[in-house]
Structure 1
Amino acid sequence: MGKTDKAVLDVLLDRYGRTFAKEAGIKLADQPKPLYQLLVLALLLSARISAEVAVAAAKELFKAGYSTPRAMREASWQDRVDALGRGHYRRYDERTSTMLSKAAELLLDRWKGDLRRLRDEAGGDARRITELLMEFPGIGPTGADIFLREVQAVWPQVAPHLDKRVLDGAEKLGLPRQERPLARLAHSNDELARLSAALVRVSRSKKTVDEVMAAAH
């Protein structure tokens, strides 16, 4: 790693290296409950809505006690709508309430509420995991990427997972735009997930790019 790359990386991780899971109050671990919470967050982040609103809506759902697929399924449709509304997730609240219920149902019926079973069914293969994730209502290619970007902190099988948005952010900062060279800049899978989240933020904002570059030089 060159001096410039290291300086950019240090600023990037220091200022923007919080995973979206951490922002939503999820203590990510290879356990059924936090993995399910991450799935909910990925579903919410998939909509054309700001990341801040999606994170706030996830927090409201979890605060209301809907942190497991069983609790999510057993909540009334209106209760879920109300929790989403408290997070200002209003444009998509009704449709999303239905999708959350159906996704919880699928997870319980097919994988006994445990996403580790989905991973094992896929043999730990990231491409197959993506296909299975996209069977959940509300999770398309974008949602699957979000989930894998964050879960690589605790699922070494899928690391490195650096999708187009992450690589776009890297390019804007003059960092490697190829997955493997970029992944080598991180010292652990946890740092890789933090780097991914930071680069997603960079990819969305020229102001953030300018700020990181100015601070690194």
Structure 2
Amino acid sequence: MSEKTSKHLRDRTEQLLDERGQTYAHEAGIELKDKPSPLYQLLVLTTLLSARITAGIAVAAARELRGAGWRTPKAMAEASWGQIVEALGRAHYKRYDESTATALGKSADLLNDRWRGDLRRLRGEAGGDPDRIRELLQEFAGIGPVGAEIFCREAQGIWPELRPSFDRRALDGAGKYDLPKDPEKLAELVAPKDLPRLAAALVRAA
């Protein structure tokens, strides 16, 4: 790649970050850190985004659940199914409110029972293998391959073994923005800490 081409791509990437580079976690009010509560809140957001519903409504629902105080799997497990359904309804998460409330309850129980409420233990069980992390994430109710990729897109800023994480939607966005569709080449355009922002921006571009 010539220096001129490289500068052009970096300029386009910087423009994209300025226009659309807000992660979904940040939009939902989650200050993502490698700690149990923020990681769990990202898992909840991932579950919400995995349904066939707009990202805006999913983010609003995540904010509603956080506002209710359910920021840990213990707190979520202690909430009633009806309370969760009502909170989702307040965010207009109507079509999938009941099934998602069930999924959130099951996921909280699994995280509490198997990993003592701490997704860092899931990461440890995976032994630094990003594919294994994706497999384990899919054991949570409501999270499939797409959901696992959503989690990894957002978490790559704090879990380096996930870098670079650009799923099919992000790569489609790269194509529409005339950026490389190769994850490694995309990763070269930004600092590691900005990879989640770039991935989110590319998804929005798609």
Q: TM-score, normalised by structure 2?
A: 0.96
Partner of 2:176: 172
Q: What secondary structure is seen at the aligned counterpart in 1 of 2:52?
A: coil
1:102 match: 106
Segments of structure 1 that go 5 or more residues without pairing to the other structure are 204-217
Q: Give the deviation of 1:44 after TM superposition.
A: 0.3
Given residue 103 of structure 1, which amino acid in structure 2 is its aligned partner?
S
1:11 deviates by 1.1
Counterpart CA distance in 2 for 1:107 and 1:3 is 45
SS at 1:2 equivalent? helix
Per the alignment, residue 200 of structure 2 pairs with 197
Find the residue that maps to 1:129 and give its secondary structure: helix
Shift of 1:10: 1.3
Picking from 27, 33, 37, the partner of 1:29 is 33
Report deviation, 1:164. 1.1
In structure 1, the residue matched to 2:188 is: 184
SS in 2 for 1:162: coil
2:24 is aligned with 1:20: yes
For residues 143-170 of structure 1, the C-alpha deviation after alignment (integer angstroms, 9 at most, x for no partner) is 1000000000111121111111111110
Match of 1:61 in 2: 65
Q: Give deviations 1:2-26, integer Å, cap 9, x for gaps.
A: 2321221111001100000000000
- Note the alpha carbon deviations across 1:108-162, whole angstroms, 9 max, x for none: 0000000000001001211000110000000001110000000001111211111
Q: How many residues align?
A: 202
**CA-to-aligned-CA distance 1:165-191 (integer Å, 9 cap, x gap):** 111110111111011111111112x20
1:73 aligns with 2:115: no
In the alignment, the residues of structure 1 paired with residue 39 and residue 136 of structure 2 have an alpha-carbon distance, to the nearest angstrom, of 15
- How far apart in 2 are the matches of 1:202 and 1:158? 22
After alignment, is 157-166 or 75-84 more displaced?
Answer: 157-166
Length-normalised TM-score, structure 1: 0.91
> What SS does the corresponding residue of 2:59 show, helix, strand or coil?
helix
> 2:117 matched to 1:113?
yes
In 2: Cα distance, 1:6 partner to 1:157 partner: 24
Residue equivalent to 1:213: none
| Structure 1 counterpart of 2:195, one-letter code | L
Sequence identity of aligned pairs in percent? 59
Unaligned runs of 5+ in 2: none
* 4+ runs deviating over 2 angstroms: 1-4
> What is the DSSP-based 3-state SS (H/G/I as helix, E as strand, rest coil) of the residue aligned with 1:89?
coil
User: In structure 1, what is the equivalent of residue 164 of structure 2?
Assistant: 160
Describe the SS at the equivalent of 1:166. helix
